[in-house]
Structure 1
Amino acid sequence: MSLKVEQFMCRSDNFGVILHDTESGETAIVDAPEENAIRAVLERTGWSPTLLLVTHHHPDHVAANLALKERYGLTIVGPRAEAAKIPGLDRSVSEGDTIEFAGRTVEVIETPGHTSGHVSYHIPQEKLAFAGDTLFALGCGRLFEEGPAVMLRSMKKLAALPPETVVYCGHEYTLSNARFAVTVEPDNEELKARAGRIEAIREEGKATLPTTIADELATNPFLRWNAAGVRATLGMQDASEEEVFAEIRRRKDNF
């Protein structure tokens, strides 16, 4: 496979991601949490980026936009609904738009909830998705700018991607998410096994990401609003999907 994906830590718990096509030499960055961490990878690899894909406007995802643009002359692409909030934006995109990168089509999926204009990026050819702060391993982003109904629709969009899709997320929150998830669905054996693996991974100081859509469908409580075990634990057997999702998010906020 000619596409390499480099994932690395930025700030305290952000992930940086850089994509590099070995045949064309084209390089893209997904979100820009921290200039020094990104530059360190680029200098080590010798890659030169021409594209920066932004998922949303929060400072820990755009802090290095202008510095990277000045140094590398790259094109910054981000959500149209947040265009005024994203430093250095060159092109705004929304649902259904596509971006060409190294002979591949990158699809834009609007996934608001965490912020009002959040987008995710999907590369079908590579079975890759970059979900920013919408979907996390065993979790989802806090609802800072929209309510549960909006985030639920966004989660359904990501859940509909092919199960084998490999998902990169914005933060290393998985251990806390796992500890919460087992309180929502304590009889999910696959979840308990995964939580144990995550404990071991974090004890070794290793990253728990990327994840896959299949793993999240099987274990992430924020994608399991219709699971009988989840509804039983919450005492919400007859509640709507939105009500169940909102209750899971409320419990996580207070966990």
Structure 2
Amino acid sequence: MPLDLHVFPTLSDNAGALLHDPATGACAAIDVPDAAQVLDAAQAKGWTISDIFVTHAHADHTQGVAQVKAATGASVCGPADAAGSCPLDRVVGEGDTVRFGGETFEIWHTPGHAPGHLSFVSREAKLALVGDVVFVMGCGRVQPGQMAAMWTSLSRIMALPGDTRLLGGHDYTLSNARFAAAMEPSNAVVAARLSEAQAAKAEGRFWALTTVAEEAKTNPFFQAAETTLAAAVERVGAPAGEVFAALREAKNRF
């Protein structure tokens, strides 16, 4: 039986997310930006939180973990460097697996945005919980000296099957779409997605879920090998990793 995924806004632009297994009743919160909002969302769905998956140690992803754990008794797993910001029952890292209901999530170390950043990847469920590595049409800010690590992390996620859903940690979609359109003003597919992002913003629709295939067509950071994007940052002929770094710096200034 497929897993249920409920995504909702928390704080100003964070993604709250609950993953539910109908067969067992297990429910995992993916990070906890705001405890009250996550608990309210679970109550509204009639789900009891049994697990908390922590993608990385930043406060806007961990600050509600202790409160939700205290309220539900949920078991918390996450990277070692998150232990200073939230209670962990299990430290996980590259090569580990986490069972959830009838599915298995591979743990990938995906640094760049945060040193211990993890992605939870289920090939069976065709779902990757990618935190702040990938957003709709964008990627997370990169820590100083970590551009190469971020490119490696992105490249790994990009290689997943196209129908794999990617759940990012924020909705920055409209800003990301505007940047993508500025980099490729003649790309009709990007323009169409920008229009969709504008409509979503106007209608108050939260947008943090995408697929590998959708990002391959419209995310400039997934397309760093494309000539038009290399030209936009004056890196024609440069390796894709260098083009990515130039694009990320351009986005920082956008």
- TM-score for the superposition, normalised by structure 2: 0.96
Partner of 1:192 in structure 2? 191
**Which segments of 5 or more consecutive residues in structure 1 lack a partner in the other structure?**
none
Partner of 1:79 in structure 2? 79
Cα distance in 2 for residues equivalent to 1:6 and 1:201: 17
Partner of 1:17 in structure 2? 17
1:30 and 2:30 aligned:
yes
Partner of 1:44 in structure 2? 44
4+ residue runs of structure 1 moved beyond 6 angstroms?
none
How far off is 1:187 after superposition? 2.3
SS in 2 for 1:122: strand
Residue-by-residue CA offset, 1:105-157 (whole Å, 9 max, x unaligned) = 01111110011110111111111111100111111100135521110000001
Partner of 2:109 in structure 1? 110
For 2:114, the aligned partner's letter is T
Residues paired across the two proteins, number: 254
Residue-by-residue CA offset, 1:68-119 (whole Å, 9 max, x unaligned) = 1111111110013x14434101111111210011021011111100111101
Q: Is the 8 A contact 1:2 1:21 kept in 2?
A: yes
Partner of 1:54 in structure 2? 54
Cα distance in 1 for residues equivalent to 2:150 and 2:166: 17
Q: Is the 8 A contact 1:114 1:146 kept in 2?
A: no
Q: Is the 8 A contact 1:186 1:192 kept in 2?
A: yes
SS in 1 for 2:131: coil
The correspondence of residues 175-254 of structure 1 with structure 2, limited to 5 A, is 175-254=174-253
Cα distance in 2 for residues equivalent to 1:21 and 1:240: 42
SS in 1 for 2:148: helix
Q: RMSD between aligned alpha carbons?
A: 1.2
Cα distance in 2 for residues equivalent to 1:14 and 1:96: 27
Q: Is the 8 A contact 2:132 2:169 kept in 1?
A: yes
For 2:246, the aligned partner's letter is E
Distance 1:83 1:201, change over 3 A: closer
Cα distance in 2 for residues equivalent to 1:152 and 1:185: 20
How far off is 1:162 after superposition? 0.7
1:121 and 2:120 aligned:
yes
Cα distance in 2 for residues equivalent to 1:36 and 1:144: 30
- TM-score for the superposition, normalised by structure 1: 0.96
Identity of aligned residues (%): 39
Cα distance in 2 for residues equivalent to 1:2 and 1:196: 31
Cα distance in 2 for residues equivalent to 1:150 and 1:144: 10
